[in-house]
Amino acid sequence: MSRDSHEPVSPGIDPRLLRAFVAVAEELHFTRAAARLYVAQQALSRDIRRLERILGAELFVRTTRQVTPTADGERLLPYARRVLDAQDELTAAFARGQVSRPVLVDVNSPGLISGRILELARERVPDHELMARFESGLTGAATELLAGRLDASFGRYAGLDPAVRARLDQQPVRYEPMAVILPEDHRLANLAEVPLDTLAGERIYAGAGNPRTREWTALAELLFEGRGIEVAAPAPLAIGEEEFRRIMAKTRTPVLVAGSFPAMPDSVLRPLVDPVPLSPLSLVWRKGRVHPGITALREAAAALAEAEGWLQRPADSWIPAIDARVMTARF
């Protein structure tokens, strides 16, 4: 294999690139290989190009009708398979002791999209126990994931500290439209949809002061910037419908939520529009954590996203650039 002068051969090749290569070599089709790996086709193509640059060799001949390994690709295939087999054996050796215990899945709050994913995952692996937890925020859940006290969670992955993200894996699940919960006699409560501009001058609660939901508060700050909307000051964390009703009646502060948030008493939930702000939802787990339950969660999330178009971004929508990159990245 000839070496590309612009990218010297690395002393170690990321096994992810080899896994992408083997999938394409076996499927002979980029779309099928991407589906097999639960990745976007664009991300898979980037990984193959990167591996080709590292090795300084073209690995596939691509035409509009077929994909065929080159001589270098054929030569690489048995080596790649041996490396991946060794990696799988190593991971399995350390994971066996964790397979028998329940998989702890943070769904954030009852009634959200993540709960549907959990239910479908349970159907896929009936011999394993997947138990729900309610951490109410990915920042807090990430600490539990890294400590081994949680196995999976859902939320805004881009809102985590980069050092934390480096120790976690993620799979984009949904561009979820955002909404606002209003007291039922609020001036905007009669609207079917609430344009963002009509919230100018309002203070909206978005978890400020809650250390477990910093990624959500930061998203709200980006959304409200330049629109005359303020993030409301910290308030007591209301857990349960009765406490929510009491705090809403006392403060009368609208609350920023995901569009799938369940109905609350004495209030109305209204979608936000012009533009439609999106809450980027990812499935998140600790790097190296292997378990049939996590595989089932990934498969369930991918199946629902495909069936219901969760990863199709609406034309008139808003999302921070960093989140857009995360949601289209390889997973």
Separation CA 323–CA 78 (nearest Å): 37
Question: Do 302 and 189 reside in the same domain of the chain?
Answer: no
Residue with tokens 């190593």: 90
Domain assignment present for 9: no
Domain assignment present for 6: no
Task: Give the CATH number for residue 273.
Answer: 3.40.190.10
Q: What is the pLDDT of residues 128-143, one digit of tens each?
A: 999 999 877 899 999 9
Question: Do 141 and 269 reside in the same domain of the chain?
Answer: no
Separation CA 202–CA 189 (nearest Å): 14
Out of 70, 97, 124, pick the residue that ends a domain: 97
Question: Do 171 and 220 reside in the same domain of the chain?
Answer: no
Q: What is the pLDDT of residues 65-109, one digit of tens each?
A: 789 999 999 999 999 999 988 877 776 665 555 556 789 999 988
Query: Residue 152 — very low, low, confident or very high, per pLDDT cuts 50/70/90?
Result: very high
Residue 98 is predicted with a pLDDT of 54
Question: Are residues 125 and 292 in contact, defined by beta-carbon separation less than 8 angstroms?
Answer: yes
Please state at what angle helix 15-27 crosses helix 30-37, rounded to 10 degrees: 130
The model carries a pTM of: 0.69
Per-residue pLDDT for 281 more than 50? yes
Domain assignment present for 106: yes
Residue with tokens 């600490």: 143
With b for 16 or more beta-carbon neighbours within 10 A and e for fewer, the 184-203 pattern comes to eebebeeeeebebebbeebb
Separation CA 208–CA 213 (nearest Å): 8
> Regarding beta strands 168-183 and 276-286, do their DSSP bridges make them parallel or antiparallel, or are they unpaired?
antiparallel
- Cα 52 versus chain centre, distance: 28
Domain assignment present for 82: yes
Q: How many domains does the chain have?
A: 3
Question: Do 160 and 106 reside in the same domain of the chain?
Answer: yes
Question: Do 112 and 36 reside in the same domain of the chain?
Answer: no
Residue 100 is predicted with a pLDDT of 65
Out of 49, 69, 97, pick the residue that ends a domain: 97
Strand partners, 179: 257, 271
Residue 4 is predicted with a pLDDT of 42
Question: Do 272 and 287 reside in the same domain of the chain?
Answer: no
Domain assignment present for 8: no
Out of 97, 127, 152, pick the residue that ends a domain: 97
Question: Do 117 and 239 reside in the same domain of the chain?
Answer: no
Per-residue pLDDT for 6 more than 80? no
Q: How far is CA 263 from CA 182, 184, 245, 254, in A?
A: 11, 12, 11, 14
Q: Which domain holds residue 24?
A: 15-97
Domain assignment present for 10: no
Q: Which of 30-34, 220-224, 267-271 has the lowest mean pLDDT?
A: 30-34
**Residue length of the chain:** 331
Question: Are residues 156 and 168 in contact, defined by beta-carbon separation less than 8 angstroms?
Answer: no
Q: What is the pLDDT of residues 31-58, one digit of tens each?
A: 888 877 777 888 899 999 999 999 999 9
Separation CA 256–CA 259 (nearest Å): 9
